[in-house]
Amino acid sequence: MAKTKKKAHLEAWERRENETAKAFEAFVAYRDMGAERSVRKVAQALDKSRTLIGDWCSTHEWVKRVTAWDVEQDRLAQAAQRKAIKEMNERQAKISVNIQGKMLNALNRLDLDKVKAGDLARLIELGMKYERIARGADATTQQSSETKEQTEESTDIGRAWVASVLQSREENGDG
């Protein structure tokens, strides 16, 4: 016969050795009620006496255990939120790089008689700006003076590059 291995450490919200199945069922009901939880509501939901539920609550330290549960659920939610934001930023950075590539290709094919170079330069500038934001290098609400200088320098470099491409095209008769 195989022996059941006991878990070395139980989480606060897991069933305790001295906790009956009925008492644990009541704890789970209490735990899952969220911010509106109460002994009275558990007693009503399970059709048990308030005294019995109150005794189980005290004996099995429900308040302490449910606090640990709430902290863990909050930790998991925050981790999921951080992961989702990271994935969003990565996705948006890729989109921004893609936009920049398309704008650079368009710049090389630019018919100066039909499109204003400034409009295209602005689109490239926006692509660069959104890539910086998506990569966390340009927070619009809390930008350090160093980051602002880097942002302005990057924008100036982008504008200068566009201007040099346009000038080169005009000098070579490609424009």
- Is there a domain that residue 76 lies in? no
- Is there a domain that residue 146 lies in? yes
- Is there a domain that residue 116 lies in? yes
Q: Which two tokens stand for residue 118?
A: 């400034």
- pLDDT tens-digit series, residues 126-159: 777 877 887 777 555 444 555 556 556 656 666 6
What's the pTM? 0.57
- Is there a domain that residue 139 lies in? yes
- Is there a domain that residue 114 lies in? yes
Written as tens digits, the pLDDT of the chain (175 aa) is 555 556 678 899 999 999 999 999 999 999 999 999 999 999 999 999 999 999 999 999 999 999 999 999 999 999 999 999 999 988 988 888 888 788 778 777 766 667 676 776 777 777 778 778 877 775 554 445 555 565 566 566 666 666 666 666 667 665 5
Closest-CA residue to 147 (of 137, 155, 157): 137
How many Å apart are CA 107 and CA 175, to the nearest integer?
10
Q: Is 99 exposed, middle or buried (0-12, 13-18, 19+ CB in 10 A)?
A: middle
Element (H, E) at 79: helix 62-108
- How many structural domains is the chain composed of? 1
Residue ranges making up the domain that contains 157 = 84-170
- Is there a domain that residue 111 lies in? yes
How many residues make up the chain in this entry?
A: 175
- Is there a domain that residue 1 lies in? no
- Is there a domain that residue 117 lies in? yes
